[in-house]
């Protein structure tokens, strides 16, 4: 990776980049409430499942196909159709819209032509990375790392976990992030789909959770 590409990825996928990612827990808040996620071991297992079998698996495929110049409108419709709940749909569309707005200092024709219609988050990242010649694999692994890190950050506040425990989880997730990035290199749109039922149900149940710190 050249220095310019590295700088862009570090900026675009930094927790400080204003996508509002800190407000989303991907249903993790419900999982903590019900006792499914209580410590670093159960958190690691949960995030590994989301990476290998859940929404982040599909996100990586969508990002890659957006990068390769597939029809963004068709990809966006597909991404929305894949959302198993209203909160998951909100999560990807709201973050995608915020990302596209914040990324305007790096003009990308595909994003500029899109206009004000919300664009799913991984598709926005794939389109921008392609416009600025950031390597597809690098963009994918950076996205997966940032998304997993956001879940760990949410758990640190929710469980709660200490910072040291959170860092151990982040280290433990490295191999799964690499495996998912590698496995999606040759994936087609036919490979989209999840079997991460507990996470999907948690996202649905979160919609009516009585006390909530997160939007999802």
Measured in whole angstroms, the distance separating CA 43 from the mean position of its chain's CA atoms is 16
| Mean pLDDT, rounded, of the chain | 95
The residue extents of the domains of the chain are: 41-206
Q: What's 41's DSSP letter?
A: H
Given a cut of 80, whether residue 116 has pLDDT beyond it is no
Mean pLDDT of 171-176: 98
The fold adopted by the segment(s) 41-206 is: Urease accessory protein UreF (1.10.4190)
**pLDDT at position 75, please?**
94
| The two structure tokens encoding residue 12 | 């675009």
Mean pLDDT of 85-112: 92
pTM of the model as a whole: 0.96
Mean pLDDT of 18-34: 96
C-beta of residue 185 within 8 angstroms of C-beta of residue 64: yes
**Burial class of 23 by CB neighbour count within 10 A (0 to 12, 13 to 18, 19+):** middle
**Which of 143, 134, 118, 129 lies closest to 57 in space, CA to CA?**
143
More confident residue, 37 or 118: 37
Q: What SS3 string covers 134-179? A: CCHHHHHHHHHHHHHHHHHHHHHHHCCCCHHHHHHHHHHCHHHHHH
**Which of 109, 90, 102, 120 lies closest to 13 in space, CA to CA?**
102
| pLDDT tens-digit readout, 137-159 | 999 999 999 999 999 999 999 99
Token pair 């999982």 is found at 31
């Amino acid at each position: 990776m050249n220095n310019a590409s590295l700088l862009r990825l570090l900026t675009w996928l930094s927790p400080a980049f204003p996508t509002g990612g800190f407000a989303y827990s991907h249903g993790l808040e419900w999982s903590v409430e019900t006792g499914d996620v209580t410590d670093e071991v159960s958190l690691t297992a949960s995030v590994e499942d989301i990476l290998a079998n859940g929404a982040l698996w599909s996100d990586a495929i969508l990002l890659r196909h957006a990068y390769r110049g597939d029809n963004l409108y068709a990809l966006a419709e597909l991404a929305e159709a894949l959302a198993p709940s209203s909160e998951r749909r909100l999560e990807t569309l709201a973050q995608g819209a915020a990302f596209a707005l914040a990324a305007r200092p790096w003009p990308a024709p595909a994003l500029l032509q899109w206009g004000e219609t919300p664009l799913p988050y991984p598709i926005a990242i794939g389109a921008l990375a392609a416009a600025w010649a950031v390597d597809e694999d690098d963009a994918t692994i950076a996205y997966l790392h940032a998304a997993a890190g956001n879940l760990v950050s949410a758990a640190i506040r929710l469980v709660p976990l200490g910072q040291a425990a959170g860092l151990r989880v982040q280290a433990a997730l490295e191999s799964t992030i690499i495996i998912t990035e590698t496995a999606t290199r040759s994936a087609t749109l036919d490979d989209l789909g999840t079997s991460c039922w507990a996470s999907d149900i948690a996202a649905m149940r979160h919609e009516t959770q009585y006390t909530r710190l997160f939007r999802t």
